[in-house]
């Protein structure tokens, strides 16, 4: 994946190296949360459904009062990984500003991306690197500890620039869902859900929609810059497959429990990413108008 032609965003708050104040509260669930909890459960011999279920419950606790934020540097970072993140973020800003206006008649409110190391505060509560990247709708920020990229290589056997870009684009996809009003409606529906399995099913549709929106972004970027190869797409698909609920649960306990899925199976995550990348349509990513996903 070539990134030379991508615009560098300065809509970044760099908190790396600034210590958190360790308040109480829970952070939002992100792409990496399921990965880390699954691996942790596997290593400790704990049923990952217990860890994942607990984290999902914490993630839905939305504190009304935002915790104080540590001071951070604003603007595009100068280090290599910071520059990479800033370029991917810049391309999401450019793509979604155009696509949402053209297809949905919506203005795109650009989210801020917070780089941190170890732990930090968010309007969704306390965030730790072990949670992986996540989006917090309360402050419309994407939180990212780039050590997750190293974990992708070491623990998942994945990695590569386009795989990392997919991770960022997935979290920005949640922001697009928020702009479109999807996240508030889903949160209301989850509160009315008659069972945890019903609430989990709604979460799966949210995550698969974000995968699809990441694919829409990738298609639009490639049409603008012709910077994605077939090998790049394989990297993203390998990552999507590696973080499927079924694969993580089978690795951890030898079997999968579909009712406990919160992000979707490997097959679903790959299929919805490719749905977005082939179709390039926001409306085509509406997982909520599908009887089966």
* Per-residue model confidence (pLDDT) at position 102: 96
The rounded distance, in Å, linking the Cα atoms of 42 and 247 is 12
Alpha-carbon dihedral sign for residues 241, 243, 246, 252: positive
Whole-angstrom distance, CA of residue 59 vs CA of residue 126? 10
Q: What is the C-alpha to C-alpha distance for residues 235 and 157, in angstroms, rounded to an integer?
A: 10
Q: Are strands 12-14 and 112-115 parallel, antiparallel or unpaired?
A: parallel
91 CB neighbour count, 10 Å cutoff: 27
Per residue in 45-100, pLDDT tens? 333 433 334 344 334 434 434 445 555 789 999 999 999 999 999 999 999 999 99
Rounded CA-CA distance 182/184 in Å is 6
**Residue 280 CA, distance from chain mean position:** 19
Confidence of residue 232 (pLDDT cuts 50, 70, 90): very high
pTM of the model as a whole = 0.84
The CA distance from 155 to 168, in Å, is 19
- In this prediction, residue 187 carries a pLDDT of 93
How many Å apart are CA 262 and CA 188, to the nearest integer? 17
Q: Are 179 and 100 in contact (CB under 8 A)?
A: yes
């Amino acid at each position: 994946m070539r990134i030379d032609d991508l615009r560098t965003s300065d809509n970044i708050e760099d908190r790396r190296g600034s210590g958190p104040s360790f308040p109480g509260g829970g952070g939002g669930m992100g792409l990496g949360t399921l990965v880390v909890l699954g691996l942790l459960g596997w290593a400790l011999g704990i049923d990952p459904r217990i860890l994942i279920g607990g984290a999902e419950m914490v993630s839905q606790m939305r504190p009304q009062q935002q915790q104080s934020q540590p001071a951070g540097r604003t603007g595009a970072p100068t280090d290599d990984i910071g520059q990479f993140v800033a370029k991917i973020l810049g391309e999401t800003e450019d793509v979604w500003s155009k696509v949402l206006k053209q297809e949905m008649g919506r203005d795109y409110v650009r989210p801020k991306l917070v780089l941190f190391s170890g732990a930090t505060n968010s309007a969704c509560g306390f965030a730790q690197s072990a949670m992986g990247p996540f989006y917090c709708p309360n402050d419309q920020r994407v939180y990212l500890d780039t050590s997750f990229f190293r974990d992708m290589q070491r623990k998942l056997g994945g990695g590569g620039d386009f795989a990392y870009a997919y991770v960022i684009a997935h979290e920005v996809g949640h922001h697009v869902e928020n702009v479109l009003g999807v996240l508030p409606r889903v949160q209301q529906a989850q509160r009315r859900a008659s069972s945890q399995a019903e609430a989990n099913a709604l979460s799966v549709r949210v995550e698969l929609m974000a995968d699809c929106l990441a694919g829409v972004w990738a298609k639009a970027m490639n049409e603008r810059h012709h910077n994605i190869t077939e090998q790049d797409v394989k990297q993203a698909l390998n990552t999507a497959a590696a973080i499927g609920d079924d694969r993580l649960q089978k690795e951890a306990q030898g079997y999968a429990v579909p009712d406990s899925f919160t992000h979707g199976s490997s097959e679903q995550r790959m299929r919805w990413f490719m749905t977005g990348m082939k179709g390039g349509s926001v409306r085509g990513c509406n997982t909520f108008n599908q009887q089966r996903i």
